[in-house]
Every structure is written in structure tokens, then in C-alpha cells.
Structure 1
Amino acid sequence: MDPAWLQTYRWIVENGDKRTDPWLLVYSPLPVTFIFLCYLFVLWAGPRFMKHREPVDLKAVLIVYNFTMVCWSAYMVHEFLVSSWLSGYSLLCQPVDYSDSPLAMRMAKVCWWFFFSKVIELCDTMFFILRKKNNQLTFLHVYHHGTMIVNWWLGVKYLAGGQSFLIGLVNSTVHVVMYLYYGLAAFGPHMQRYLWWKRYLTRLQLTQFVILTVHAFYNLFAECDYPDRMNALICAYLVSLIVLFSNFYIQSYLSTKKKSQA
């Protein structure tokens, strides 16, 4: 009789989407777990390593990185939109199409690209550390970046498509705007007068979380061939993000405004 942990591991790797199992980082949870643990290690060791060193000038790297992420996010918006539109997706209830049809595979592939983009976005944290912007390494930042790779590994492993496409579509749209802001900001302080819309980024992020929470909550009670456990997990996770981003918005903008008026 195999130990429980080995039985659990076998169930995890053997019950995934057979279409996505051969793709990079998908088949086993070990690679993404290793990435997550490395991320936590860098968070611990990075600031200590940089403590007595000068901040690294990453202006050129940040410009290239952020505008690359704009293009990548725009590509995913296009693929989510086209794949869902041509497949006749429903916004209210959309089961996963596990077939090997061209459109089903196209949707599965963009889900994988979305997951992989979350791995690449861990670079955001690395850049903060190298530039000694440790004030940006908040619980919100770490929680959001660290959990997204795990959540979307689960998505690609078991549910590459279906109504979870809406999360990828909405989040990729928001990231086009977000990385555009970061890309422009990377040019230097002279750009700040053109970036008055920074606070609206947080509002945009909160709006996406509310929309996606309502969507997932609705599907908890609708008769839809999509796992309720996944909808419940999505709801709980999005509510946590709403709380954290709301607190960030209040502390960053509303509290500051009150202090300036005092």
C-alpha cells in the first residue's frame, strides 16, 4: 500500500487535462512548487543581499519589459476574445471543451500563455528588490503574485477553458493598461505629469475583481457543468483581493487626501 502522500500525488498528475499535460510546467505540481519556493527565498534573501549595495539602474530593462508585457497582454486579450467568440461561449455558463478541436486547443493554449505570464510577472518583485524599492514589497504584492501562479496552474492542469476564460480576458485587459503605465513611468520623473491616472488603475483592478466575483458567485447556484469547488475557490480568492486592494486604495489615496486637507 502506497503512502497517502504518494497516492495524492499520483491522483494530481494522472487526473489532469491530457491535452495540457505535455506542456511546460503543467504535468506535475513540483516545478511550480519549486518556482514558488524560490520566489519566497528571493523575497527573504534579496533585500539582505542588496542592503549594503547601490540600487541597480534598470531603466532600459524596465522599459523593454513593461512594453513587452503590454504586447503579451494584448495578444492574450485577442486570443481569449477570438477563441470564445468563434466557439460561441456563454458569459453565464460555459463548460470546458476537452476535445482536440482547433478552437478548444486555441483556448487551452491561451490559458497556458496566461498561466506562464504569471510566472514571468514574478520579475516585478525581482526588479523592486534590485532597485531597493522594498516599500513596494507589501503583503498585497507578494500574496497576489505568489498565489496567481498556483491558481492558474490548477486552471491549466484541470480546466483549460470554459468560463474561467473570463478571468484571463478581463485580467489581461487590465494588464495592458497597468503595464502601459509602468512602461511610461520607467522613462523617468518627467513623465509623472502625464500619469495622473495612476489611482484609476487600482479602481480598474477593483472593478475587475467585483465583476469576476459576481460571475463566479452566480455560477455557484446556476446549473452549469463547471465544478462548484472551483467557483467557490475563485470567489474566496477574489474576495480576499477585493479586501486587500480596497485597503491599499484607502491607505494610498483616501487617507492621504484627508491628511492633506487637515
Structure 2
Amino acid sequence: MLQHIQEFGSNVIKTFDELVAGIDPRIKDYPLMQSPVPMTGILLCYLFFIMYLGPRIMAKRSPFQLKEAMIIYNFLLVALSIFIVYEFLMSGWVTTYTWRCDAIDTSNSPQALRMVRVAWLFWFSKIIELMDTIFFVLRKKHSQITFLHIFHHSFMPWTWWWGVGYAPGGMGSFHAMVNCSVHVIMYFYYGLSAAGPRFQKYLWWKKYMTAIQLIQFVLVSLHATQYYFMESCNYQFPIIIHLVWIYGTLFFILFSNFWVQAYVKGKRLPKQDIKSHQNGSAVYTNGSSPLLRPLLWMTGIRTLSRALRY
């Protein structure tokens, strides 16, 4: 029995070493790219804080007033997102890419290395965006911390670490560029919203945020779909295309459902924090952190609507 356990452990370590050895050598010197362990540790600490430690710390405290910090944070992300979009464009998307089957340039040319850099920067921006949830915890906006919110903020940086490590560039980077384009608008909206009531008159376009998200998922899915109709494509990592297609299609369905419920049927949810887990939409109850109920949250429109509100 002990021998089998040791063999299993050895095989796991061998497989892990082989996976890490396959990382693009051009990106291995970037911070947090030597191994997935530090990145995984950061995400586990994030989950532990937002689901357990943070709510316990804040249970008997008044919410923090973080207006200035949030304004600075959101507008810095606007600037970062603009820079990332520009770098993606200049690294290939408006210079050498065809917008169809674009392979990863594995050379050490200046443009190829520029794409590697912006791919890493996009991934690192997802680590920065973990602050979204931390702000929710410190402000005691527990109803905003839904399963979809947590899943998106933890799943994206974990999967993109592997995407950046193996495939920094090529047609698989299209959704990253589109995502950052949407984030320019999204964090601009959040920045104005954080500035206070005097800016509310400038936020009349709130509902169009959902439309912008829908356009994003349509573009991403369509771009990935063309791969399946090509006679041949030399893109090196088709699994990236499969994951992008699944991600874009799934979230298009979920956001479409939200649009219909919120803006066609008018079933807008109240802004108050939920005090119970009715319909499985709340993550916390009275500052505690029960086990996630993903099946309920994934099927409830309330989950998605709260994921969209800041």
C-alpha cells in the first residue's frame, strides 16, 4: 500500500515537473511564472480571506469608507487596461495578425517579446483585480460577493497563468484584448460610481454595461468558432480555443438571461444587502461564510445580477 502511494506521488511530481518544463522559456523570468505554486497560493489566500477571515474580522466592525481608495484604484485600472489594449494591438493585432488563424510567434523578435510581455501583464492585471472582492468585504457589501463573482475572479487568473505560460500570443489572445477593452469602460463606470451621488447623473448608461458585456462574448465566441471551420490552422494550442469558446458561450447565455430579466421584464433586485441565503444568492449570512452552493447560484438570476453590480 505504501509503495503504491509513493509511486502515485512520484508520478504526480513527475507530471507537474513536465508541465512546468513546458512553459515558454521567454516568460519564465517574469514574476510568479517560475511555477504555478505561488499563483495558486495567492488565490487560495484570496479565497480564505473573502470567504472566512475577512467576514469574521468585519463582523462587529463598521464598514470601511474607501471612497478615495476606490476612485484611485478604478481609474488606475482604466489606465492599465488602455495600455494593455494598445500593446496587444501593436504586438500583432493591427500589425501582422490576420484576425483568423494566427499562430504564436515563438521567436525572440522585438514584436514577439512585446506580445509575451503584454500577455503576462494581462494575467497580472487579474491578480490586481482580486482587490474588487476585498473592497466588497471591507465595505461589508456581502451581497455582491456571489458564486459567479468568486468563480470569475479566481478561475480566470488560474487558467490564464497556464495560457500565458504556454501560449503568449496568437489567436488565443484575442479574448484578452477584448476583455481589457471592456474593462476600460467598466472600471471608468466604477470610478464615477465611487465618486459619489453628484456623479449619478453621468451614469444613465448603466444598463448598457450589460450590452457591452454581451457584445464582448459574441465577438470572443465568433472569433473562436471560426477555428472549427478552417481546413487547417497552425495555432499551436487548440485547447486554448476550446476553453475560450466555452467561456464566451456560457457567459453570453447567462448575461442574456440577466438582460431579459432585468431590463425587459423589469425584475430589478433591491440594492440592500441580503440577510439570508434565500434562493442561494448570498455568500454570507450575518457575517459568516457557509459552504458555497454553486448549483443554486449558477441557476439563479439573482446571482448574475449581483455579480454585475458594484
Distance 1:80 1:50 in 2: 40
Contact 2:261 2:268 in 1 (8 A): no
Which residue number corresponds to residue 28 of structure 2? Answer: 21
Cα distance in 1 for residues equivalent to 2:104 and 2:87: 16
Task: Report what 1:30 is aligned to.
Answer: 37
Change (3 A) 1:140 1:250: farther
Alignment pair present for 1:179 and 2:187: yes
Which structure is higher in helix share?
Answer: 1
Matched, 1:88 2:96: yes
Please report the TM-score for the alignment, with normalisation by the length of structure 2: 0.79
CA gap 1:257/1:244 in 2 versus in 1, 3 angstroms: closer
* 2:207 aligned residue (199, 209, 212): 199
1:77 aligns with 2:85: yes
Report the Cα offset of residue 168 of structure 1.
1.9
Match of residue 221 from structure 2 = 213
> Does residue 98 in structure 1 map to residue 106 in structure 2?
yes
Aligned-pair CA distance for 1:5:
0.8
TM-aligned CA deviation for residue 86 of structure 1: 6.1
Name whichever of 129-138 and 230-239 sits farther off: 230-239
Q: Deviations over 1:7-55 (max 9, x none)?
A: 1111111011010011111121111111121121112122232122100
What residue in structure 1 maps to residue 50 of structure 2?
Answer: 43
Counterpart amino acid of 1:211? L
Change (3 A) 1:190 1:7: same
Residue pairs, 1:1-262, within 5 angstroms: 3-45=10-52, 46-85=54-93, 87-222=95-230, 223-226=232-235, 227-256=237-266
CA contact (8 A) 1:140 1:244 kept: no
Shift of residue 186, structure 1, vs aligned partner = 0.8
The separation in 1 between residues aligned to 2:34 and 2:139, in whole angstroms, is 35
Within 2, Cα distance between the matches of 1:194 and 1:79? 29
Q: Distance in 1 between matches of 2:252 and 2:151?
A: 13
Question: Does structure 2 conserve the Cα–Cα contact (< 8 Å) formed by 1:26 and 1:156?
Answer: no
Deviation at 1:190, TM superposition (A): 2.2
Q: Distance in 2 between matches of 1:142 and 1:203?
A: 22
One-letter identity of the residue aligned with 1:229: I
Question: Post-superposition shift, 1:239?
Answer: 2.2
CA shift, 1:251, in A, is 4.2
Moved more, 8-17 or 43-52: 43-52
Q: Which amino acid aligns with 2:234?
A: D
Any conservation in 1 of the 2:89–2:95 contact (CA below 8 Å)?
no
1:147-169 deviations in whole A, cap 9, x for unaligned? 11012111110000111231121
In our comparison, the structure showing a higher alpha carbon Rg is 2
Alignment partners' CA distance in 2, 1:221 and 1:4: 38
1:87-138: per-residue Cα shift (whole Å, max 9, x none)?
A: 4111011000011100000011001100000000000000011111111111
Q: Name the count of aligned residue pairs.
A: 259
For 1:242 and 1:86, locate their aligned partners in 2 and report how far apart those are by CA, in whole Å: 26
The 3-state SS of whatever aligns with 1:256 is coil
Distance 2:251 2:264 in 1: 18
How far apart are the structure 1 equivalents of 2:95 and 2:33? Answer: 24
For structure 1, which segment, 60-69 or 138-147, has the greater mean C-alpha deviation from structure 2 after superposition? 138-147
Q: For structure 1, which segment, 143-152 or 177-186, has the greater mean C-alpha deviation from structure 2 after superposition?
A: 143-152
